[in-house]
Structure 1
């Protein structure tokens, strides 16, 4: 019996050794949903802080935080600023979403797409409130950073 046990253990060790391979790169722990929740919260905090500084600062923030796969899809907001109040309790994964203006053959953005309810206040460059809307917004967590898609004004 002992001899059979050693034979099985030896065979298992050979199989494991023969099937293992090194994976290049540095291991990175997977983000938890709570980590992503904080990243998303931080994104909106930074967006709103940029709005307080004015249209130019917010435009710079939106340019830096535009999803890299859709960097050429930015809309100009002119002198408008957006303050966005996210309803974090509505945050959920949206695995099939693609940007609507990305074209017929658009692919799902790299990263983990989230959707959440938001309340948006739109102000002109003098700070006057032009309107408020409630809707949904998508953000993407990619490699530990949150990206968005610059909203386009509709007329």
Structure 2
């Protein structure tokens, strides 16, 4: 008798659960995690440097494609320069209060998770090293993709 009651209760639970399921179109995407975001940042810099290795035009295309979507009108032309960026991943941290410089009073935080990290930037022209600089760079993770803010040469 106990087995019969248990079987009926189990069957009822299965039917209730089956009746409550729904189908959702699309492909499931894992929720962001610090490790996932970190890998997106690593990949961003790998792609940036691979584009630089192919030349100014390819790097320009990468910078346009990876510019944060809310700031696509703020691209700078690097001309025939390329940038190689060596990120210090151990310095990666969230920067929730950052707003892009030059946005003026009332500037808003970019959509997404803003990260900041130390970087070493080498500036090249026709393969020759023109200079290098150490500074900070922001990368934003938005909708599972890493975006940056194209650098502008000093005075540009």
TM-score, with normalisation over the residues of structure 1? 0.80
1:94-151 per-residue CA deviation (whole Å, 9 max, x = no partner) reads 0000100223222100000000000000001x11100000000001000000000001
1:28, CA displacement in angstroms?
4.8
State the match for 1:141 in structure 2.
Answer: 141
State the match for 2:11 in structure 1.
Answer: none
State the match for 1:102 in structure 2.
Answer: 103
SS in 2 for 1:38: helix
* C-alpha distance in structure 2 between counterparts of 1:132 and 1:70, whole Å: 26
Question: What is the CA RMSD across the aligned residues, in angstroms?
Answer: 1.7
* C-alpha distance in structure 1 between counterparts of 2:133 and 2:25, whole Å: 45
SS in 1 for 2:43: helix
* C-alpha distance in structure 1 between counterparts of 2:81 and 2:107, whole Å: 28
State the match for 2:85 in structure 1.
Answer: 84
Unaligned runs of 5+ in 2: 1-23
Aligned pair 1:116/2:121, yes or no? no
SS in 2 for 1:101: coil
TM-score, with normalisation over the residues of structure 2? 0.80
State the match for 2:127 in structure 1.
Answer: 127
* C-alpha distance in structure 1 between counterparts of 2:146 and 2:25, whole Å: 23
1:79, CA displacement in angstroms?
0.7
Aligned pair 1:61/2:68, yes or no? no
* C-alpha distance in structure 2 between counterparts of 1:34 and 1:138, whole Å: 17
Alignment of 1:6-17 (within 5 A): none
State the match for 2:31 in structure 1.
Answer: 30
State the match for 2:3 in structure 1.
Answer: none
